[in-house]
Amino acid sequence: MKIYDATRILSEETYVYPGDPPVSFSFSEEGGIRVSEIRMGSHSGTHIDAPLHYFSDGASVDEIPLEACVGPCSVKSVYPGSVQSDLFLDLPADMKRLLIRSGWSESDPSDYGCLTKRDALTLVERGIKAVGTDAPSIESYNGDGSVHRTLLSAGVVIIESLSLSEIPEGKYMMVALPIACKGIDGSPARVILCNFDCVIS
């Protein structure tokens, strides 16, 4: 069974969205025992957004239904700019999770394939449970939050800052588990994709 790790490695060099806290590590050692302190924002690296991120009365990340985070998914590539309308045409009706390889690059972090509000509404109408991207945001760099609000208000799990450059387009079994941080608006997640045929055979 082939397993792909779709998680970006966290380090002090990890790109963070403008205005978010940087990632920092510090260490202490006493009696031969080493303990690390990790400081970062809740949306650092590969992470999952909870409804609380945009709605004061929304569910926190520990309340996200895990069945949305585990199951078959489709990986699709798009061009920079707004997502092309044909992205969803060949998505099987029973496919409830979509990961977008957006072309995001740290060298030009504002230029990548992103969802529009219309795209988000289409996904909600299709009954999508989770949507992810390798970009730091599911919507445009200067987005107004409408894509997030549309998805999160419908209970769609948003996964951002995935590592998809080495993962071919296709169908996989996804496991995307956030850290169960009580009352928090999001958290880092470890995301793996398994070859779908091997999983079901």
DSSP 152-167: HHTT-EEEESB--TTS
Mind listing the pLDDT tens digit for each residue in 152-196?
A: 999 999 999 999 999 999 999 999 999 999 999 999 999 999 986
What are the E-state strand segments in the chain? 3-5, 24-30, 33-39, 47-49, 70-77, 81-82, 97-101, 113-114, 130-133, 157-160, 170-178, 186-195
Distance CA 199, CA 201 (A): 6
| Cβ–Cβ < 8 Å for 48, 178 | yes
Mind listing the pLDDT tens digit for each residue in 65-115?
A: 999 999 999 999 987 776 656 677 778 888 999 999 999 999 999 999 999
Amino acid type, 121: L
Given the DSSP bridges, would you call strands 47-49 and 186-195 parallel, antiparallel or unpaired?
Answer: antiparallel
Closest by alpha carbon to 157, among 83, 68, 94, 91?
Answer: 68
- The tokens 């990548």 sit on which residue? 112
Domains of the chain (ranges; CATH) run 3-7+42-200 (3.50.30.50)
